[in-house]
Chain A
Amino acid sequence: MQQTEVDISAIVPVGSRRDDLPALLDEYAEGLRQAGVSFEIIVVLDGPREGLMNELAPLMAARSWLRLIELARDFGESAALTAGFSRARGRMFLTLPAYYQVVPADLGKFIEAGCQTDMAIAVRWPRAGSTIESWRRHVFHWLLGFITGQRYRDLGCGVRLLSRDITVEIPLYGERHRFYPTLATNRGFEVREIELAQSSKDDFRGRYRIREYLHRLLDILTLFFLVRFTKKPLRFFGTIGFLISALGVLFVTIVVIQRLFLNVPLADRPALLLSSLMLVLGVQVFALGLLGELIIFTHARELKEYAVRRVIGGDENPVEAPRLDAVDPGPKSG
């Protein structure tokens, strides 16, 4: 079991929110066993948790599929997932939450439907929860869809099936795990949503405080910039800067015309200062955009804008028949 490759590496990042882990892990294992795949489950403890370690370590004796990783301090879910990915031996990666979100017995169904694509994410459906909760979710996903042009229904669900390529190509940090499907689609990977029944033990209440909302909003803003303007910063900064400057110029003109022709005195008018401030701010934002362009230009060689799935033909790699997976023997062949 040490060096052999397995079909699925399930990675369970454990943060502050968790249910009865030993029971949950056994249920996950049972679900995977029923799916008929060889698997391992890697539990990543996000920061040292003395009690939990003592609880989980004895389990390893009887369960050869279980592996434990403990991070030196609390790094967040993205970092925990990355630590798991880098030690996983499976051909496909499955991320699972450390609490009940879906029915573990459905994992087989999920894997079967998901292995045809680069990335599959679970959608808990039908969904329990209050009306407010449902509205909050709708607004979040609608906003994200509006900004990135991609509609997802349940990004909060931690059940995802991914190919190894994705984890290599899109590094996770901060809160990016939440937007993994969006980032993957943006890089040209195929992402599919698969409906799974919500676990009856999925108990999620009162966790969203004001701070959480603010974080989500900032995350969306970051994502907006990452997805839309990374390669053309001036399109972003330039448009904003130009609009602010144009407004500033307009106001200055109005104020000056009033002074010259209508004899409105300038000295006691804050409008003049405000409008010239806007002009100055606009130019500054524009200049930031130019600096951004310079950054992109000087790093253009490292930022590969495209991803090649495979190369067909030519005298180095002749083809026998069309539709041959010559370069990318990924999950698609299955």
Chain B
Amino acid sequence: MPANRLAARSVEVSIVVPLYNEEESVALLYERITAAVSGMGVAYEILFVDDGSTDRTLDVAAGLAARDVCLKVIEFRGNYGQTPAMAAGIDRARGRFIVTMDGDLQNDPADIPLMVAELTDSYDMVVGWRRNRQDKLITRKVPSWIANRLIGWVTGVPIKDNGCSLKVYRASVIKQVPLYSEMHRFIPAMASIAGARVREVPVRHHARQFGESKYGLSRVYKVLLDLASIKTITSFAQRPLVWFGLLALPFALCSLILFIAAFLPLLGDSQAPSLPFAGTAVLLGALSLFLLMGGALGELIYTTGDIDMSRYSGITAVTFRERRSQPRDEAEIAQTAQED
């Protein structure tokens, strides 16, 4: 271990906040987080990730960081989006527990201690549920309700509020989840590949004080396409051939039925098979073959890639063992260790 690492404090809780043009909110946000977390009596760090803001967000945040070693600001070279910003913060977080939240003050940092306490009991991930959401009904709440139902149904992780950024993770679990594109919406589903147990708790939600909403709900078709990829990745990433085989099955069945229909007239008095039926049958048969081959290609991709599912099962096993041998609250254990 290098010397500078030894010099750095050990950290219990890391709070990651992506910021994009939030110059009015930053100072207040910092104060509220500090007030909430310092009351927990554990070592913490705050990571502000400046996602290429064009206003004075970075200057304000850097000014705060100069006064407090608990605050670290990560400056991006450009604007890359909310998910990369979260990923950057999570990559650099040193705490055993990682909290993510929005930078627009709509989440209340006062909920953090409660959520961390929930996590240490028996879950790998605690997500916030904005029970009294302070947003416009038609443009935000209704689309979000439909999207959440759909996401829960497809991914098998029924969470009422996927859009809430206030979440607490066990660092060992979230650091294994690949975060890219706009995947932050699907972190619970992705984490469930790693066997993470997810708990949902109601959190406070405030109306927006400053500025406009920056990360709105994406257009419907984007969510639908993302869902299709998530489904492929989560449930069948390990066995692409099976997943593509399942896709191919209905087409193969249709093809078979049409073949039978095409050649049925031969049993009667007709001389030639039915041409439209035969043609369509051949096409659909070709399609199912193509999909099967695609599955085989998927197997190849999976083997050459660096996602190793055994690593995921490894994490879950460790978490289990910890839980069996250490029935006490993990925060308590950490505190006694510090006192020793």
Q: Determine if A287 and B247 form an interchain contact, defined as CB atoms under 8 angstroms apart.
A: yes
Whether A294 and B301, one on each chain, are in contact in the complex, defined by CB atoms closer than 8 angstroms, is yes
A284 to B279, CA, bound (A): 18
> A302 CA to B84 CA in the complex, in Å?
13
State whether B78 touches A188 (Cβ < 8 A): yes
Q: B78 and A322: CB pair below 8 A?
A: no
Does A296 sit within 8 A of B, measured CB to CB? Answer: yes
A238 with B302: CB separation less than 8 A: no
Whether B178 contacts A300 by the Cβ 8 Å rule is yes
Residue of A at shortest CB range from B52? A188
Q: A291 touching B301 by the CB < 8 A rule?
A: yes
> How far is the CB of B134 from the nearest CB of chain A, in Å?
30
Q: Which of B78, B222, B240, B280 contacts A272 (CB 8 A)?
A: B280
Give A224 Cβ to nearest chain B Cβ, in Å: 17
- Measured between beta carbons, the chain B residues less than 8 angstroms from A235 are 222, 225
Known contacts A294-B301, A308-B88, A311-B92; decide if A302 and B76 are in contact (CB<8 Å): no
Mark interface residues in B44-69 (1 if CB within 8 Å of A CB, else 0): 01000000100000010111011011
Q: Given known contacts A187-B78, A267-B276, A297-B237, is B84 in contact with A305 (CB within 8 Å)?
A: yes
Contact A312 B232 (CB under 8 A): no
B72→A311 contact, CB < 8 A: yes
Q: Residues of A at under 8 Å CB distance from B?
A: 187-189, 231-232, 234-235, 238-239, 266-267, 269, 272-273, 276-277, 280, 283-284, 287-291, 293-303, 305-316, 318-323
Choose one: A189, A234, A238, A306; the contact of B80 (CB below 8 Å).
A306
- Minimal beta-carbon separation of A303 from chain B (angstroms): 7
B287 pairs with A316, CB closer than 8 A: no
Establish whether residues B74 and A319, one from each chain, have CB atoms under 8 Å apart when the complex forms.
no
Task: Tell me, yes or no, whether B27 is within 8 Å of chain A by CB.
Answer: no
| Shortest Cβ gap from A131 to chain B (Å) | 38
Contact across chains for A306 and B291 when beta carbons are under 8 A apart: no
The reply to whether B294 and A322 contact each other, CB–CB distance below 8 Å, is no
- Nearest CB of chain B from residue A286's CB, rounded to whole Å: 8
A294 close to B302 (CB less than 8 A) = yes
| Across-interface contacts of B327 in A (CB, < 8 A) | none
Instruction: List the A side residues contacting B307 at CB < 8 Å.
Output: 297-298, 300-301
Q: How far, in Å, is A225 (CB) from chain B's closest CB?
A: 15
Does A314 lie within 8 Å of B298, measured CB to CB?
Answer: no
Query: Contacts of B73 on A, CB cut-off 8 Å?
Result: 311-313
- Given A188-B76, A231-B180: A305 and B87 within 8 A (CB)? yes
Interchain nearest-CB distance for A208 vs B (Å): 33
Q: Pick the 6 closest A-B CB pairs, nearest first.
A: A298-B305, A188-B78, A313-B65, A300-B178, A314-B72, A322-B62
Q: Which residue of B lies closest to A308 (CB)?
A: B74
Is B136 on the interface with A (CB-CB < 8 A)? no
- Mark each residue of chain B from 197 to 221: 1 if its CB lies under 8 Å from any CB of chain A, else 0: 0000000000000000000000001
B interface residues, Cβ below 8 angstroms from A: 4-5, 7-9, 45, 52, 59, 61-63, 65-66, 68-69, 71-81, 83-85, 87-88, 92, 178-182, 221-222, 225-226, 228-229, 232-233, 237, 240, 244, 247, 251, 274-276, 279-280, 283-284, 286-287, 290-291, 294, 297-298, 301-302, 304-307
| Complex Cα–Cα for A188 and B87 (A) | 17
Q: Inside 8 A of B240's CB, which chain A residues have their CB?
A: 294
CB-CB under 8 A from B59, the residues of chain A are 322-323
Report A247 CB to chain B, min CB distance, Å.
Answer: 15
**Residues of chain B within 8 A of A188, CB atoms compared:** 52, 76-80
* B76 x A313 contact (CB < 8 A): no
Q: Across the interface, do B228 and A290 meet the contact criterion of CB distance under 8 Å?
A: yes
Q: B62, B84, B179: which contacts A313 (Cβ < 8 A)?
A: B62
CB atoms of A297 and B178 under 8 A apart: yes
- How near does chain A come to B85, taking the closest CB pair, in angstroms? 7
B63 in contact with A322 (CB, 8 Å): yes
B276–A280 contact, CB under 8 A? Answer: no
- In Å, the complex CA distance between A187 and B69 comes to 30
A302 to chain B, nearest CB (A): 7
Partner of B306, one of A287, A290, A299, A311: A299
Q: A232-B181, A312-B62 are in contact. Are A295 and B301 (CB under 8 A)?
A: yes
Contacts of A287 in B (CB 8 A): 244, 247, 290-291, 294
Q: How far is the CA of A239 from the CA of B179 in the complex (A)?
A: 23
Contacts of A288 in B (CB 8 A): 294
How long is the Cα–Cα vector from A284 to B286 in the complex, in angstroms?
Answer: 10
Decide if B85 touches A301 in the complex (CB within 8 Å): no
Whether the Cβ atoms of A311 and B74 lie closer than 8 Å is yes
Q: Apart from A293-B232, A307-B76, A307-B78, what 14 extra A-B contacts exist at CB < 8 Å?
A: A232-B182, A234-B228, A235-B225, A283-B251, A290-B229, A293-B229, A294-B233, A294-B298, A306-B87, A308-B74, A308-B76, A313-B71, A316-B5, A322-B65
Contact, CB under 8 Å: A312 / B283: no
Nearest chain A CB to B6 CB, angstrom units: 11
Please give, as numbers and ranges, the residues of chain B lying within 8 Å of A289 by CB-CB distance. 229
Q: Who on chain B is nearest to A277 by CB?
A: B283
**In the complex, what residues of B have CB within 8 A of residue A318's CB?**
69
Say which residue of B8, B88, B233 sits within 8 Å of A306 (CB atoms).
B88
Given A284-B287, A322-B59, is A293 in contact with B233 using a C-beta cutoff of 8 Å? yes
Give Cα A158–Cα B160 distance, bound, in whole angstroms.
55
Cα separation A297 to B234 with both chains bound (whole Å): 10
| CB <8 Å contact, A267 and B275 | yes
- How far is A109 from B109 in the complex, measured between Cα atoms in Å? 52
Best-surrounded residue of B7, B52, B61, B229 (most CB of chain A within 10 A): B229
Min CB gap A117→B, angstroms: 12
| Minimum CB distance partner of A301 in chain B | B306
Closest chain A residue to B299 by CB distance? A294
| Complex-state Cα separation, A276 to B258, whole angstroms | 13
* Complex-state Cα separation, A174 to B182, whole angstroms: 30
Which residues of the other chain, B, contact A295 by a CB distance below 8 angstroms? 301, 305
